[in-house]
Protein backbone atom coordinates (compact mmCIF):
# COMPACT_ATOMS: atom_id res chain seq x y z
CA UNK A 1 0.00 0.00 0.00
CA UNK A 2 1.30 3.45 -0.96
CA UNK A 3 0.09 6.74 0.51
CA UNK A 4 0.75 9.90 -1.48
CA UNK A 5 1.50 13.36 -0.10
CA UNK A 6 0.68 16.42 -2.20
CA UNK A 7 4.19 17.83 -2.60
CA UNK A 8 3.52 21.41 -3.63
CA UNK A 9 4.01 23.28 -0.38
CA UNK A 10 3.76 22.76 3.37
CA UNK A 11 4.74 20.09 5.88
CA UNK A 12 5.46 17.32 3.38
CA UNK A 13 8.55 15.97 5.15
CA UNK A 14 6.81 15.80 8.53
CA UNK A 15 3.86 13.84 7.14
CA UNK A 16 6.27 11.48 5.40
CA UNK A 17 8.08 10.85 8.67
CA UNK A 18 4.82 10.08 10.51
CA UNK A 19 3.66 7.66 7.82
CA UNK A 20 7.01 5.92 7.50
CA UNK A 21 7.05 5.39 11.26
CA UNK A 22 3.92 3.31 10.67
CA UNK A 23 5.73 1.25 8.05
CA UNK A 24 3.81 2.77 5.15
CA UNK A 25 5.34 3.39 1.73
CA UNK A 26 5.07 7.06 0.74
CA UNK A 27 5.15 8.84 -2.63
CA UNK A 28 5.41 12.57 -3.30
CA UNK A 29 2.62 13.76 -5.61
CA UNK A 30 3.59 16.59 -7.95
CA UNK A 31 1.65 15.74 -11.10
CA UNK A 32 -1.27 13.58 -12.13
CA UNK A 33 0.86 10.54 -13.01
CA UNK A 34 1.99 10.30 -9.38
CA UNK A 35 -1.57 9.37 -8.37
CA UNK A 36 -1.41 5.98 -10.10
CA UNK A 37 -1.52 3.06 -7.68
CA UNK A 38 -2.08 5.10 -4.53
CA UNK A 39 -4.33 3.89 -1.71
CA UNK A 40 -4.78 7.39 -0.24
CA UNK A 41 -3.36 10.89 -0.30
CA UNK A 42 -2.47 13.50 2.33
CA UNK A 43 -2.93 17.24 1.80
CA UNK A 44 -0.47 18.94 4.18
CA UNK A 45 -0.72 22.30 5.86
CA UNK A 46 0.63 25.35 4.05
CA UNK A 47 -1.05 28.20 2.22
CA UNK A 48 -4.27 26.90 0.65
CA UNK A 49 -4.49 29.58 -2.05
CA UNK A 50 -0.94 28.87 -3.20
CA UNK A 51 -1.59 25.12 -3.11
CA UNK A 52 -4.72 25.63 -5.20
CA UNK A 53 -2.80 27.73 -7.73
CA UNK A 54 0.00 25.18 -7.98
CA UNK A 55 -2.34 22.18 -8.22
CA UNK A 56 -3.73 23.38 -11.53
CA UNK A 57 -4.93 21.69 -14.67
CA UNK A 58 -5.10 17.92 -14.88
CA UNK A 59 -3.80 17.35 -11.34
CA UNK A 60 -6.42 19.62 -9.80
CA UNK A 61 -9.18 18.07 -11.91
CA UNK A 62 -8.17 14.53 -11.00
CA UNK A 63 -7.90 15.36 -7.29
CA UNK A 64 -11.36 16.94 -7.38
CA UNK A 65 -12.74 13.84 -9.08
CA UNK A 66 -11.17 11.55 -6.47
CA UNK A 67 -12.42 13.72 -3.59
CA UNK A 68 -16.00 13.49 -4.85
CA UNK A 69 -15.81 9.73 -5.44
CA UNK A 70 -14.81 8.44 -2.04
CA UNK A 71 -11.04 8.13 -2.45
CA UNK A 72 -9.23 8.23 0.94
CA UNK A 73 -7.91 11.74 1.59
CA UNK A 74 -6.52 13.38 4.73
CA UNK A 75 -6.27 17.17 4.91
CA UNK A 76 -4.54 19.05 7.71
CA UNK A 77 -4.96 22.82 8.21
CA UNK A 78 -4.74 24.21 4.64
CA UNK A 79 -5.39 20.68 3.41
CA UNK A 80 -8.72 20.78 5.21
CA UNK A 81 -9.57 24.01 3.38
CA UNK A 82 -8.91 22.28 0.05
CA UNK A 83 -11.46 19.56 0.86
CA UNK A 84 -14.19 21.79 2.32
CA UNK A 85 -17.29 22.44 0.22
CA UNK A 86 -17.61 25.97 1.66
CA UNK A 87 -14.80 28.31 2.77
CA UNK A 88 -15.52 31.64 4.47
CA UNK A 89 -19.08 31.58 3.19
CA UNK A 90 -18.09 31.05 -0.44
CA UNK A 91 -19.67 27.97 -1.98
CA UNK A 92 -16.99 27.60 -4.67
CA UNK A 93 -14.55 25.07 -3.22
CA UNK A 94 -10.89 24.53 -4.07
CA UNK A 95 -11.47 20.80 -4.49
CA UNK A 96 -14.45 20.10 -2.25
CA UNK A 97 -15.93 16.72 -1.51
CA UNK A 98 -16.56 17.15 2.21
CA UNK A 99 -19.81 18.65 3.46
CA UNK A 100 -18.24 21.17 5.85
CA UNK A 101 -17.96 24.94 6.03
CA UNK A 102 -14.61 26.33 7.15
CA UNK A 103 -13.48 29.71 8.47
CA UNK A 104 -9.86 30.41 7.50
CA UNK A 105 -7.31 31.55 10.11
CA UNK A 106 -10.04 31.29 12.76
CA UNK A 107 -7.53 30.65 15.56
CA UNK A 108 -5.74 33.93 14.88
CA UNK A 109 -2.46 35.00 13.32
CA UNK A 110 0.71 32.93 13.39
CA UNK A 111 1.83 34.65 16.60
CA UNK A 112 -1.24 33.11 18.24
CA UNK A 113 -0.13 29.55 17.44
CA UNK A 114 -0.46 27.14 20.33
CA UNK A 115 -0.28 23.51 21.40
CA UNK A 116 -2.92 21.63 23.35
CA UNK A 117 -4.31 18.17 24.00
CA UNK A 118 -7.55 17.00 22.43
CA UNK A 119 -10.03 14.21 23.02
CA UNK A 120 -10.38 12.53 19.63
CA UNK A 121 -13.24 10.14 19.00
CA UNK A 122 -11.92 6.68 18.21
CA UNK A 123 -8.43 7.46 19.50
CA UNK A 124 -8.42 8.80 23.07
CA UNK A 125 -8.50 11.83 25.39
CA UNK A 126 -4.81 12.70 25.16
CA UNK A 127 -3.99 13.51 21.53
CA UNK A 128 -1.44 16.34 21.14
CA UNK A 129 -2.32 19.03 18.61
CA UNK A 130 -0.42 22.00 17.18
CA UNK A 131 -2.53 24.90 15.87
CA UNK A 132 -0.91 27.38 13.45
CA UNK A 133 -3.23 29.98 11.88
CA UNK A 134 -5.75 27.18 12.03
CA UNK A 135 -9.05 27.12 10.15
CA UNK A 136 -12.05 25.96 12.16
CA UNK A 137 -15.07 23.99 11.01
CA UNK A 138 -18.16 26.14 11.49
CA UNK A 139 -20.73 23.78 9.99
CA UNK A 140 -20.97 20.08 9.22
CA UNK A 141 -23.44 18.19 7.08
CA UNK A 142 -25.56 15.25 8.26
CA UNK A 143 -23.10 12.66 6.96
CA UNK A 144 -20.08 14.22 8.68
CA UNK A 145 -18.86 12.87 12.01
CA UNK A 146 -17.22 15.42 14.34
CA UNK A 147 -14.19 13.74 15.90
CA UNK A 148 -12.68 16.50 18.06
CA UNK A 149 -13.51 19.95 19.41
CA UNK A 150 -11.55 22.82 20.88
CA UNK A 151 -13.41 25.53 22.82
CA UNK A 152 -16.72 24.12 21.53
CA UNK A 153 -15.54 24.41 17.92
CA UNK A 154 -15.06 21.39 15.66
CA UNK A 155 -11.43 20.89 14.69
CA UNK A 156 -11.43 17.35 13.31
CA UNK A 157 -14.02 15.48 11.28
CA UNK A 158 -14.63 12.53 8.98
CA UNK A 159 -17.00 11.88 6.11
CA UNK A 160 -16.62 8.44 4.60
CA UNK A 161 -13.01 8.14 3.46
CA UNK A 162 -12.30 11.87 3.90
CA UNK A 163 -10.54 12.90 7.11
CA UNK A 164 -9.66 16.48 8.07
CA UNK A 165 -8.02 18.29 10.97
CA UNK A 166 -7.58 21.99 11.73
CA UNK A 167 -4.28 21.28 13.43
CA UNK A 168 -0.96 19.63 12.61
CA UNK A 169 -0.61 16.08 13.98
CA UNK A 170 2.54 15.68 11.88
CA UNK A 171 4.34 18.23 14.09
CA UNK A 172 4.06 15.91 17.11
CA UNK A 173 5.55 12.52 17.91
CA UNK A 174 2.07 10.97 18.14
CA UNK A 175 1.14 8.98 15.02
CA UNK A 176 -2.31 7.79 16.07
CA UNK A 177 -4.18 10.16 13.75
CA UNK A 178 -2.02 9.07 10.84
CA UNK A 179 -2.73 5.47 11.83
CA UNK A 180 -6.45 6.26 11.68
CA UNK A 181 -6.05 7.49 8.12
CA UNK A 182 -3.92 4.52 7.11
CA UNK A 183 -6.63 2.22 8.48
CA UNK A 184 -9.25 4.10 6.43
CA UNK A 185 -7.15 3.69 3.28
CA UNK A 186 -6.42 0.03 3.99
CA UNK A 187 -10.10 -0.78 4.56
CA UNK A 188 -11.09 1.07 1.38
CA UNK A 189 -8.50 -0.85 -0.62
CA UNK A 190 -9.68 -4.15 0.85
CA UNK A 191 -13.30 -3.38 -0.05
CA UNK A 192 -12.29 -2.51 -3.61
CA UNK A 193 -10.40 -5.79 -3.94
CA UNK A 194 -13.45 -7.74 -2.77
CA UNK A 195 -15.68 -5.87 -5.22
CA UNK A 196 -13.27 -6.51 -8.10
CA UNK A 197 -13.20 -10.24 -7.30
CA UNK A 198 -17.00 -10.36 -7.20
CA UNK A 199 -17.24 -8.56 -10.54
CA UNK A 200 -14.67 -10.93 -12.06
CA UNK A 201 -16.65 -13.94 -10.79
CA UNK A 202 -19.84 -12.60 -12.37
CA UNK A 203 -18.05 -12.33 -15.70
Annotated catalytic residues are 77, 168, 170
- Burial label for 151, CB within 10 Å (0-12, 13-18, 19+), is exposed
Separation between Cα atoms, residue 8 and residue 51, nearest integer Å: 6
How crowded is the C-beta side of 174, counted as CA atoms within 13 Å? 18
Who's near 144: CB < 8 A, 6+ residues apart?
98, 99, 100, 157, 158, 159
Element (H, E) at 146: strand 145-150
Separation between Cα atoms, residue 162 and residue 70, nearest integer Å: 7
DSSP state of 46: S
Amino acid sequence: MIIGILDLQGAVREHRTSLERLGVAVRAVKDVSDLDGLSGIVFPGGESTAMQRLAAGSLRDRLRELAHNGFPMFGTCAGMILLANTVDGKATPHLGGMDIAVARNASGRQVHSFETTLAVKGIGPDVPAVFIRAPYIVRIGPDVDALAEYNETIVMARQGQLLVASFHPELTEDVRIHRMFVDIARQHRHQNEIQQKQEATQL
